[in-house]
Amino acid sequence: MGCCIVGCGKGLPALDVTNDELAQLVETSDEWISSRTGIRSRRISVEETSLDLAEVAARQALGWDGEGAGIQGQPAFAAEDIDLVVFSTLTPDALLPSSAALLRRRLGLTNAVSFDLNAACSGFVYSLSVTEALMAASQANVGGAGGRNHYHRALVVGAERLSRITNWSDRNTCVLFGDGAGAVVVEWRDDAPGIISSYIHNDDDTTNSLVCPAAFDSSFAFDEQGVNAAFAQDPALLLADASLARVDEELGVAEGVAAGEPRQAIRMDGQKVFKFAGNALTNAVLEVLERAGLTLDDIALIVPHQANERIIKFAAKKLGLGLEKFQISIAHRGNSSAACVPMTLCDAYESGKIAPGDKVIMVAFGAGLTSGAVLYEA
Ligand code: ACO
State pTM to two decimals: 0.95
Beta-bridged to residue 364, according to DSSP, are 372
Q: Tell me, what's the pLDDT at 367? A: 97
- Residue to substitute in 21, 24, 36, 165 for testing ligand 1 pocket (most ligand atoms within 8 angstroms of CB): 36
Q: Is 121 assigned a catalytic role? A: yes
> How would residue 143 be classed by pLDDT, with cut points 50, 70 and 90?
low
CA atoms within 13 A on the CB side of 285: 30
Q: Tell me, what's the pLDDT at 70? A: 63
pLDDT (average), residues 335-345 = 98
Residue 141 vs residue 2, higher pLDDT: 2
Q: Tell me, what's the pLDDT at 161? A: 98
Q: Tell me, what's the pLDDT at 371? A: 98
Q: What span, in angstroms and rounded, lies between the C-alpha atoms of 166 and 216?
A: 17
pLDDT (average), residues 119-137 = 97
Q: Tell me, what's the pLDDT at 69? A: 60
Q: How wide is the angle at C-alpha 338 spanned by C-alphas 335 and 339, nearest 5°?
A: 70
pLDDT digits (tens, 9 = 90+) for 264-292: 999 999 999 999 999 999 999 999 999 99
pLDDT (average), residues 79-108 = 97
Q: Does position 236 have pLDDT exceeding 80, yes or no?
A: no
Bridge-based pairing state of the strands 15-18 and 301-304: unpaired
Residue 32 Cα to ligand 1 midpoint, Å, equals: 10
Indicate which residue of 150, 152, 305, 308 is catalytic: 305
Q: Is 3 assigned a catalytic role? A: no
Q: Tell me, what's the pLDDT at 366? A: 97
Beta-bridged to residue 304, according to DSSP, are 363
Q: Tell me, what's the pLDDT at 68? A: 59
Residue 172 Cα to ligand 1 midpoint, Å, equals: 5
Q: Does position 142 have pLDDT exceeding 80, yes or no?
A: no
Residue 236 vs residue 157, higher pLDDT: 157
Q: Does position 237 have pLDDT exceeding 80, yes or no?
A: no
| Sequence-distant (≥ 6) Cβ neighbours of residue 127 within 8 angstroms | 86, 87, 88, 117, 119, 156, 157, 158, 338
Pocket of ligand 1 (CB under 6 A): 28, 32-33, 36-37, 120-121, 171-172, 175, 210, 266, 268, 270-271, 273-274, 277, 307-308, 311, 335, 337, 366-367
Q: Tell me, what's the pLDDT at 223? A: 79
Helix (H/G/I), strand (E/B), else coil: 219 = strand
> How would residue 65 be classed by pLDDT, with cut points 50, 70 and 90?
confident
Q: What value does the mean pLDDT of the chain take?
A: 93
pLDDT (average), residues 82-99 = 97
pLDDT digits (tens, 9 = 90+) for 251-261: 999 999 999 99
- Residue to substitute in 125, 161, 202, 274 for testing ligand 1 pocket (most ligand atoms within 8 angstroms of CB): 274
Q: Does position 214 have pLDDT exceeding 70, yes or no?
A: yes
Classify residue 266 by its DSSP letter.
-
Beta-bridged to residue 195, according to DSSP, are 376
> How would residue 140 be classed by pLDDT, with cut points 50, 70 and 90?
confident
Q: Is 305 assigned a catalytic role? A: yes
Residue 28 Cα to ligand 1 midpoint, Å, equals: 11
Q: Tell me, what's the pLDDT at 183? A: 97
- Answer for the pair 336, 253: CB distance below 8 angstroms, yes or no: no
Q: Does position 144 have pLDDT exceeding 60, yes or no?
A: no
Residue 123 Cα to ligand 1 midpoint, Å, equals: 23
Indicate which residue of 3, 4, 8, 121 is catalytic: 121
Q: Tell me, what's the pLDDT at 178? A: 98
In ligand 1, the atom with minimum distance to the C-alpha of 121 is: 50
